[in-house]
Chains A and B, each alone.
Chain A
Amino acid sequence: MKIAVCVKQVVTRDWPLRINDSHTWVDDRDASFEMNEPDAYALEEALRLKEQHGGEVVVCSAGPPRVNQVIREALARGADRAIHVEAESLASADGAMVAEALAAPMEEEQFDLVLTGLQSDDQGFAQTGVVLAEFLSIPHATIIMEVQVGAGRVRVKRELEGGWFQWVSMSTPALLTIQSGINQLRYATLKGIMAAKKKEVRLVEPPAELARRQEILMLSVPERTKEIRLFDGAPAEAAGKLVQALKDDARVI
């Protein structure tokens, strides 16, 4: 089975976020980066499917040269080779732009299964996977908890609201967006890191016409506001005023 896994490089979760001067993205010049968490679970699921059913796992990523870091990490964990659609303009691109950038080289490969993370830790639109499925003209299912592979079909467990699940059967090729935490991530071994050096990373240019479809107008950090009101008077009287304020102003009781 030929499996593609799309991975995104995002700013490390514990990095102190700073917004850039134009308030359109974070100022990530001195940030450290890591693999988008749901993508790590998608990669793990792909590696497990390969172990069960044979085949190969190809890592696909769209982004500036620095994205090579997460590609190497995926190769060190056991992916066989990689496709890197490389362009500076892909940094902080929207989901549709990333999907369009990935679509052409991925279509050539004729993958049986394409796995992506459910959403990204930075933008969180959960769009790249589903838009990519449209570009590749294959069916998709989202928020996947479990994958069972049969001949020409996959049976997948989706997570719904309120603790409900749904099983869906679909024909392959198909695209699945994987939920975080569905498996136990493996470690990169030292031999894996060394072996990754010898694996193929195919650099691809994005389509010439590629452009953003979505523009971030403004990012802002939620401001913490604090208001303290003191109620004077005798205890009973102050308590009465407090109850009134909680009812009328704060509307919490």
Chain B
Amino acid sequence: MAINELHNDLRTAVRELCARFPDSYWRELDAREAYPEEFVKTLTNAGYLAALIPEELGGSGLGVAEASIVLEEVNRSGGNSAACHAQMYTMGTLLRHGSEEQRRHYLPKIASGDLRLQAFGVTEPTTGTDTTQMKTMAVRRGNHYVVNGQKVWISRVEHSDLMLLVVRTTPVEEVQKKTEGLSILLVDLRDAIGNGMTVNPIRAMINHATTEVFFDNLEVPVENRVGEEGKGFRYLLDGLNAERILIAAECVGDGRWFIERACRYAKDRVVFGRPIGQNQGIQFPIARAHVNVEAADLMRVRAADLFDDGQPCGAEANMAKLLAADASWEAANVTMQTYGGFGFAEEFDVERKFRETRLYQTAPISTNLILAFIGQHVLGLPRSF
């Protein structure tokens, strides 16, 4: 089967699945701040979240290009991939750096959806993106690590069975390079919560199931460490390019959803005796936003192709994320303006998607840090922070 055929088949199938979860489904969940359990279950059972897991471990062994199409179509349908995208890529750390035993034990269950691994505990309240300064410590005692500390903005913890947790196993003062001494632990949330781990939901601008998490002498078996002790930071960086590309695809999906809605409304809405889309003041911003979404999509496709070909793609993956996040945000603003007052009404879904797509300017990485990366690592400029 030609690649384009596979991509088209994927798009058609995911679109059809998503069509059964209409705007009203997401709107109602948003009002209750509830998790899209039925949607996530359906997408999981149909195998789409296991796209990146190798075939021999129960997945479909596809590339980031295909995985990104799934997430794009979810967002393009009016839904929000953020509820479950991490199930697709968090396992990458386990796949690349886990022991053979860990891979065989966990990945088939993650592929089938019997286990959800869609939480990654990195960010801390006092360190933000300055990851190497994290305070959460894991001290080894016999066959266990004892973890103490705090994480924040950890999403989907309440809807996961497992969480990857980044901790310091050697204090920063005792390592030669500050990127050393970090380790990754696989925490079984079913045992941990209530036994040294406390989860507090954070009510936020969007329905994102995000939390703050506290560790008070949480015991994690040493066998649950992923990879070598002290190498966690490198493992963390390894997964970022895939994540950037997948998030870029979600932004493209949002952008296309906004442009479709804006066009439909601009054609239908008649004021002063003609459709508002006939006015250049309305039409041109929509056209420009469309151009920018499609341009961002090209960078996303380029990055995905390089990634799947095993080529370096840090620059392209980061540029795709930046361009796509900016394009979806532009499209969101344009659509809001096109809808006028109705854009603010919940029943048109524009305000919900507007809030949701705003997140991509901030998470999983702030736009400024992408610019810093491009400046320093692509253009060779002095480090800016």
- Given A187-B42, A187-B46, check contact A193 B6 (CB 8 Å): yes
- Bitwise interface map of A from 69 to 105 toward B, beta carbon under 8 Å scored 1, else 0: 1001100100000000000000000000000000000
- Given A76-B13, A194-B60, A197-B1, check contact A189 B8 (CB 8 Å): no
Residues in B neighbouring A72, C-beta threshold 8 A: 1, 5, 9
Contact between A187 and B9 (Cβ–Cβ < 8 Å)?
no
B58 to chain A, nearest CB (A): 10
- Bitwise interface map of B from 1 to 41 toward A, beta carbon under 8 Å scored 1, else 0: 10001101110110011000000000000000000000000
Residues in B neighbouring A187, C-beta threshold 8 A: 13, 16-17, 42, 46
Interface centre among B10, B13, B42 (most CB of A within 10 A): B13
Contact between A73 and B9 (Cβ–Cβ < 8 Å)?
yes
Smallest Cβ-Cβ distance to B50: which chain A residue: A190
Interface centre among A73, A76, A194 (most CB of B within 10 A): A194
Residues in A neighbouring B6, C-beta threshold 8 A: 193, 197
Partner of B10, one of A69, A193, A197: A193
A73 to chain B, nearest CB (A): 7
Contact between B12 and A73 (Cβ–Cβ < 8 Å)?
yes
Residues in A neighbouring B50, C-beta threshold 8 A: 190
Contact between B1 and A189 (Cβ–Cβ < 8 Å)?
no
Partner of B47, one of A34, A69, A189: A189
A226 lies within 8 A of chain B by Cβ: no
A109 to chain B, nearest CB (A): 25
Residues in B neighbouring A34, C-beta threshold 8 A: 12
A191 lies within 8 A of chain B by Cβ: yes
B48 lies within 8 A of chain A by Cβ: yes
Q: Bin the interface of chain A by size.
A: 10 to 19
Contact between A193 and B8 (Cβ–Cβ < 8 Å)?
no
Residues in A neighbouring B8, C-beta threshold 8 A: 69
B259 lies within 8 A of chain A by Cβ: no
A188 lies within 8 A of chain B by Cβ: yes
Residues in A neighbouring B60, C-beta threshold 8 A: 190-191, 194
Contact between B47 and A191 (Cβ–Cβ < 8 Å)?
yes
B276 lies within 8 A of chain A by Cβ: no
B51 lies within 8 A of chain A by Cβ: yes
- Given A76-B13, A194-B60, check contact A189 B46 (CB 8 Å): yes
Q: How far is the CA of A69 from the CA of B10 in the complex (A)?
A: 12
Tell me the A190-219 residues at the B interface (CB within 8 Å): 190-191, 193-194, 196-197
Tell me the B48-64 residues at the A interface (CB within 8 Å): 48, 50-51, 60, 62
Q: How far is the CA of A49 from the CA of B6 in the complex (A)?
A: 28
Q: How far is the CA of A198 from the CA of B6 in the complex (A)?
A: 13
Residues in B neighbouring A189, C-beta threshold 8 A: 13, 45-48
Residues in B neighbouring A190, C-beta threshold 8 A: 10, 13, 46-48, 50-51, 60, 62
Residues in B neighbouring A69, C-beta threshold 8 A: 5, 8-9
Q: How far is the CA of A191 from the CA of B47 in the complex (A)?
A: 7
Q: How far is the CA of A221 from the CA of B8 in the complex (A)?
A: 31
Contact between B13 and A188 (Cβ–Cβ < 8 Å)?
yes
Q: How far is the CA of A72 from the CA of B1 in the complex (A)?
A: 10
Q: How far is the CA of A188 from the CA of B60 in the complex (A)?
A: 14
Q: How far is the CA of A188 from the CA of B51 in the complex (A)?
A: 14
- Bitwise interface map of B from 106 to 142 toward A, beta carbon under 8 Å scored 1, else 0: 0000000000000000000000000000000000000
Smallest Cβ-Cβ distance to A72: which chain B residue: B9
Contact between B17 and A76 (Cβ–Cβ < 8 Å)?
no
Residues in A neighbouring B48, C-beta threshold 8 A: 189-190
Contact between B9 and A76 (Cβ–Cβ < 8 Å)?
yes
- Bitwise interface map of B from 206 to 217 toward A, beta carbon under 8 Å scored 1, else 0: 000000000000
Smallest Cβ-Cβ distance to B17: which chain A residue: A187
Residues in A neighbouring B42, C-beta threshold 8 A: 187
Residues in B neighbouring A196, C-beta threshold 8 A: 1, 9
Smallest Cβ-Cβ distance to B8: which chain A residue: A69
Smallest Cβ-Cβ distance to A194: which chain B residue: B60
A69 to chain B, nearest CB (A): 7
Residues in A neighbouring B45, C-beta threshold 8 A: 189
B204 to chain A, nearest CB (A): 31
Smallest Cβ-Cβ distance to A190: which chain B residue: B47
Tell me the A29-74 residues at the B interface (CB within 8 Å): 34, 69, 72-73
Q: How far is the CA of A4 from the CA of B88 in the complex (A)?
A: 37
Q: How far is the CA of A37 from the CA of B1 in the complex (A)?
A: 25
Q: How far is the CA of A193 from the CA of B15 in the complex (A)?
A: 14
A157 to chain B, nearest CB (A): 26
Contact between A188 and B16 (Cβ–Cβ < 8 Å)?
yes
Smallest Cβ-Cβ distance to A184: which chain B residue: B20
- Bitwise interface map of B from 89 to 116 toward A, beta carbon under 8 Å scored 1, else 0: 0000000000000000000000000000
Residue numbers of B with Cβ under 8 A of A are 1, 5-6, 8-10, 12-13, 16-17, 42, 45-48, 50-51, 60, 62
A-B contact pairs, 30 of them (CB 8 A): A34-B12, A69-B5, A69-B8, A72-B1, A72-B5, A72-B9, A73-B9, A73-B13, A76-B9, A76-B13, A187-B16, A187-B46, A188-B12, A188-B13, A188-B16, A189-B13, A189-B45, A189-B46, A190-B10, A190-B48, A190-B50, A190-B60, A191-B60, A193-B13, A194-B60, A194-B62, A196-B1, A196-B9, A197-B1, A197-B6
Residue numbers of A with Cβ under 8 A of B are 34, 69, 72-73, 76, 187-191, 193-194, 196-197
With A34-B12, A187-B13 already in contact, 17 other A-B pairs whose C-beta atoms are closer than 8 Å: A69-B5, A72-B1, A73-B9, A73-B12, A76-B9, A187-B16, A188-B46, A189-B13, A189-B45, A189-B47, A190-B50, A190-B51, A190-B60, A193-B13, A194-B62, A196-B1, A197-B6
**A-B CB proximity, top 9 nearest:** A190-B47, A188-B13, A197-B1, A189-B46, A189-B47, A187-B17, A191-B47, A190-B60, A190-B48
